C-alpha cells in the first residue's frame, strides 16, 4: 500500500471528496495551458454514484474497466462508451486504441451499434496498432494531447504492459493534458496499477420492453477501487437517447452502496425467463 493512501484514512471520505474536488478545480483553472475545460469530472448522472466518486469520474486520470468474465465484455464496452459519451464535449474527439490481437479475438467497436447506443460516431477516431506496447505509447501521447475528450484503450486479459510503472506514466500523462483515460481490460484479475478507479462490470437481466423485446440495457457496476472516495455497487441502465445512466425504478433494485446478492441468484423471478 503506498503511503499517501495511509494518510487518507485520517479524513472521513465525505469530507475529503469535496476538498479534493476544490483542489482539482483550482489546479485546472490556474495551471498554464489547462484552460480547455472547466469541467474536472465526468458525471455519471446518477447522484448517488457521483457522490461516491466525489463529483464524478475525474478527468486528468485513468480509470480501469474490467468485465467480470469475457462473456460480459459487451456490458463493459457499453459502460466505457457510455462514459465516453458523457465525457464528450462539442468538437472534441474520442480516440479508441486497439491492437491486432484484441480485435481478432473479441471484435472491434461497430459504428452502427455505437450510433444506436447514442454515441456521436463522427467524433470517433480509431487507432489500430500491432502490439500491446504500442497501445500504451499511443494512449500516453493521446492523454497528453488536449484534443480528445476521452481516450479508450483496450488490453488483453494477460498483459505485462499494464504494470504499476506503465500505468503511473499514463496517469501522469493524463494529469498533464487533463485527459480522460479509460482502460478496458479483458479480465477480472485485479493487478495493482495507478488507475484512479476500477470497475468490475457484469450484465444484468433487463426489464424488457413493454412492446416485447429486449428493452434498455441493464448492467451491474462494481466499483472496487476508488482513490477519492468509497467503493460501491450499482445496477444501472443506459438510456441511449438521453445519453445517461439511470438506476431503474424497479423495487428489486437496492439503493447504492449496498452489497447485493450475486447476479446468478437474482433475476430468477423474472417473468420472461419462463420463455425458455
Partner 1 sequence: MNAEAMRLGLRHMMPLADARAMHPSIAVEPADDAADARLLEAIGDWLSRYTPLVGLTPPDGVMLDITGCAHLFGGEDAMRRDAVRRLHDQGITARTAIAGTPGAAWALARYGERRNIADDEMQETLQPLPLAALQLTPDIIEAMGRVGLKKVGDILDRPRAPLAARFGSILLQRLDFALGKADEPITPRLPVPPYIAERNLMEPATHETFILETIGHLAADLSRRMEERGEGARALQVTLFRVDGAVRRLSVATSRPQRDAAAMHRLFRERFSSLAEDIDPGCGFDVIRLAVITAEKTQIPQSNLIDGATGPDDLADLIDRLGVRFGPRRVQRLAFAESHIPEYAVIQAPPLASDLSTQQRTNVPALDTIAPARPLRLFERPEPIDAIAEVPDGPPVRFRWRRVPHEVAHAEGPERIAMEWWRDETGRSLTRDYFRVEDRDGRRFWLYREGLFGSETSRPQWYVHGLFT
Give min distance, CB of 150 to partner 1, in A. Answer: 13
Least distance between partner 1 and beta carbon 27 (Å): 15
Which grid cell sits at 11? Answer: 479524513
CB of 136 to partner 1, least distance (A): 13
Which of 103/231 has CB closer to partner 1?
Answer: 103
User: Judged by CB, which is closer to partner 1: 18, or 262?
Assistant: 262
Pairwise CA distance, residues 28 & 11, whole Å: 23
Q: Which residues pair with 96 in a beta bridge?
A: 126, 152
State the cell numbers at 51.
457522490
Q: Which is nearer to partner 1, 148 or 228 (CB)?
A: 148
Angle at 187 between CA 224 and CA 51, to 5 degrees: 25
Grid cell in block for residue 209 = 420492453
Report CA Rg, the chain. Answer: 18
- Shortest separation between residue 223's beta carbon and partner 1, angstroms: 18
CB 148 to partner 1: min, Å: 7
- Per-position b or e across 155-173, b if 16+ CB within 10 A of its CB: bbeebebbeeebbeebbbb
- Return the number of the residue (20 or 237) whose C-beta is nearest partner 1: 237
CA 30 to chain centroid, in Å, comes to 27
For partner 1, the closer of residues 128 and 169 by Cβ is: 128
Amino acid at each position: 500500500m503506498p503511503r499517501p493512501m495511509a494518510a487518507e484514512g485520517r479524513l472521513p471520505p465525505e469530507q475529503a471528496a469535496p476538498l479534493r474536488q476544490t483542489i482539482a478545480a483550482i489546479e485546472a483553472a490556474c495551471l498554464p495551458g489547462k484552460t480547455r475545460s472547466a469541467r474536472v469530472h465526468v458525471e455519471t448522472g446518477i447522484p448517488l454514484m457521483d457522490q461516491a466518486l466525489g463529483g464524478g469520474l475525474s478527468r486528468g486520470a485513468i480509470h480501469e474497466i474490467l468485465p467480470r468474465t469475457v462473456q460480459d465484455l459487451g456490458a463493459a464496452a457499453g459502460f466505457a462508451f457510455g462514459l465516453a459519451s458523457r465525457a464528450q464535449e462539442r468538437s472534441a474527439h474520442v480516440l479508441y486504441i486497439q491492437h491486432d490481437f484484441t480485435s481478432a479475438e473479441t471484435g472491434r467497436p461497430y459504428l452502427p451499434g455505437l450510433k444506436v447506443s447514442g454515441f456521436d460516431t463522427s467524433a470517433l477516431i480509431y487507432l489500430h496498432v500491432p502490439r500491446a506496447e504500442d497501445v500504451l505509447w499511443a494512449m500516453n501521447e493521446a492523454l497528453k494531447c488536449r484534443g480528445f475528450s476521452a481516450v479508450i484503450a483496450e488490453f488483453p486479459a494477460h498483459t505485462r504492459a499494464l504494470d504499476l510503472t506503465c500505468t503511473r506514466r499514463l496517469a501522469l500523462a493524463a494529469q498533464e493534458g487533463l485527459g480522460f483515460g479509460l482502460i478496458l481490460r479483458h479480465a477480472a484479475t485485479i493487478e495493482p496499477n495507478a488507475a484512479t478507479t476500477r470497475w468490475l462490470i457484469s450484465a444484468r437481466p433487463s426489464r424488457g420492453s413493454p412492446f416485447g423485446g429486449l428493452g434498455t440495457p441493464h448492467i451491474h457496476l462494481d466499483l472496487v477501487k476508488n482513490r477519492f472516495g468509497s467503493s460501491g455497487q450499482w445496477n444501472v441502465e443506459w438510456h441511449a437517447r438521453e445519453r445517461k445512466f439511470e438506476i431503474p425504478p424497479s423495487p428489486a433494485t437496492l439503493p447504492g452502496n449496498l452489497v447485493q446478492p450475486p447476479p446468478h441468484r437474482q433475476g430468477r423471478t423474472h417473468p420472461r425467463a419462463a420463455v425458455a
